[in-house]
A = this chain, B = another copy of it.
Amino acid sequence: MGDSFGKLFAITTFGESHGPAVGVVIDGCPAGVALSEADIQAELDRRRPGQSLLTTQRKEADLARILSGVFEGKTTGTALAILVENDDQRSKDYTEMKELYRPSHADYTYQVKYGVRDWRGGGRASARETIARVAAGAVAKKILRQAHGVETLAWVSQVHTIRDDTLPQAVTSEAVEANPVRCPDPDAARLMAQRIEEARKQGDSVGGIVSARVAGCPPGVGEPVFDKLTADLAKGLMSIPAARGVEFGLGFGAVELTGTQHNDSFVMEGDRVRTATNRSGGIQGGISNGEDLLLRVAFKPTATINSPQDTVTLDGRKAQLKAKGRHDPCVLPRAVPIVEAMIHLVILDHLMRFAGRTLRG
C-alpha cells in the first residue's frame, strides 16, 4: 500500500532497485498535452547517478519509455505509463546485506513488516524508486508551465554545516545548474563539494537542505482543513527517502518572531492584492495567495556508508557491517529534481481539484 499519490493527477509507482524495471502510471493526465520521451528524459538525466564525482559512481542510463497514454505526440487523457528498465545491477555488492540490517536504513522495518524483503540494493526502499516520481513530475512540470506559467526552482542551500544564504528571489536556474552540487552560490558550492568529497574519502556521508521557490502559482490553490497546500506538500516532500523535516515560509524561524513582526500586510498592486512581505511563503490558511511559494526540506546524511557499523543479523546475532557498494556520500544534488517533481505533482493535482470546483450554481 502507499504506492499511489495524488487525487486527480494520481500516480502509482512500482519497481525495486535490482528488479527488471521501475515505472509509473499516471491516472488523470489531461488530454491534448504535447509530450515526448525527451521531455521526461531531461528530468531523469538531472536525477541520474554518475553525473559527477559527488554522487554514486554507478552508471545507469535510466531511459524512459512511454508505454501508453500518448498518441501521435499528444496525451490521450487515459492512463499514461512510463517504464525505465534497470541495468548495471551488481547484486553481489549487496550480498552481505542479505543477512544484516543496515543501521538507519529500511532493512529492519521492511523485514519486520513483511516477513520478507528484496535485500538487493534496498529493493523498494532504494532511491531508484524516485525515478518514477521524477518521470511523473516531468509530465506535471510541462503541463504547469504551459497551462499556467508555474515555474518551480529548487537548489541546495546547505550541505553539512556549509550554508548558502542567497535570497530565494535571487536564485536562478542557471546558477543552480552551473555546478554539480546545485548550489546557486559558486563559493558555497565549492566548499560543499569539498565537504562531500571529504566524506566520501572517509567512508562517511553528509546531509543538507534543499530550498525551493515556486513562481506563478495562482491564488486559491489548496483546500481548507486537511488538504491544505502546506499539508499535501509536506506529505509529498516527507515521502522522499532521507527527508527528516520540512518548513514553509519562515518555518521554524517564525517561532522567534511576534505576530506584528511576522504578519504579511496586504497592499494593492494595481488591481491585484499582494503582500508587502512574504513570511508566509505564499500560503495562508493552507491556500496559495499568489505570492511565490517558499519551502525547505532537510535531508539526513546517507544511511549507507563505507565505514564499519555495529548491527545485528536476521537471526539476532551481533555483527559488523561495512557496505561495499557505490553509494552517494550526499544525496542533496540529486534530491533537487526529486523535490521539484514532488512540488509539481502536488500543485498540478491541487490545480485540477480547484478547476473541478468551478461548476457553480
Is B27 in contact with A220, judged by CB distance below 8 angstroms? no
Among B78, B109, B223, B259, the residue within 8 A (CB) of A205 is B259
Q: Mark A60-84, 1 if CB is under 8 A from B, else 0.
A: 0000011111010011111111010
**CB-contact partner of A231 in B69, B220, B236, under 8 A:** B236
Q: Are B298 and A79 in contact (CB under 8 A)?
A: no
Digitize A272-313: 1 where CB-to-B-CB distance is under 8 Å, 0 elsewhere.
010110011001111111100000001111110101011110
Query: Is B71 touching A207 in the complex (CB atoms < 8 A)?
Result: no
Q: How far is the CB of A263 from chain B (nearest CB, A)?
A: 4
The 8 Å CB contact of A14, one of B7, B79, B359, is B79
Q: Chain B nearest CB: distance from A354 CB in Å?
A: 7
| Interface membership of A174, Cβ < 8 A | no
Please determine whether B360 and A3 come into contact, CB atoms closer than 8 angstroms: no
Q: Is A169 an interface residue (CB 8 A)?
A: no
- Give the distance in Å from the alpha carbon of A204 to the alpha carbon of B258 in the complex: 7
A244: interface (CB < 8 Å): yes
The distance in angstroms between the C-alpha atoms of A358 and B351, with both chains bound, is 11
Q: A32-B116, A358-B355 are in contact. Are A2 and B27 (CB under 8 A)?
A: yes
Let me know if B266 and A359 touch, CB within 8 A. Answer: no
Q: How many copies does the complex hold?
A: 4
A291 to chain B, nearest CB (A): 11
- For A78, the chain B residues whose CB sits under 8 A away are 3, 14, 16, 114, 118, 123-124, 224-225
Please report whether the interface of chain A is mostly helix, strand, loop or mixed according to DSSP.
mixed
Residues on B with beta carbons closer than 8 Å to the beta carbon of A58: none
Contact (A13, B79) CB under 8 Å given A116-B71, A258-B204, A310-B267:
yes
Chain B residues with CB under 8 Å of A256's CB are: 160-161, 207
Verify A238–B230 contact, CB threshold 8 A: yes
Is the CB of A94 closer than 8 A to any CB of chain B? no
Q: Which of B10, B125, B284, B361 makes the CB contact (< 8 A) with A146? A: B361
Q: Of the candidates B8, B261, B301, B317, which one forms a contact with A353 in the assembled complex, judged by CB atoms under 8 Å apart?
A: B8
Q: List 10 A-B contacts (CB under 8 A).
A: A1-B353, A19-B67, A19-B71, A23-B67, A23-B81, A67-B83, A204-B259, A245-B246, A245-B247, A246-B247
Apart from A113-B354, A238-B248, A244-B248, 17 more pairs, CB < 8 Å: A1-B27, A8-B353, A16-B69, A25-B25, A77-B114, A101-B266, A106-B224, A113-B287, A124-B224, A148-B359, A204-B258, A207-B257, A209-B252, A230-B243, A244-B252, A260-B307, A352-B357
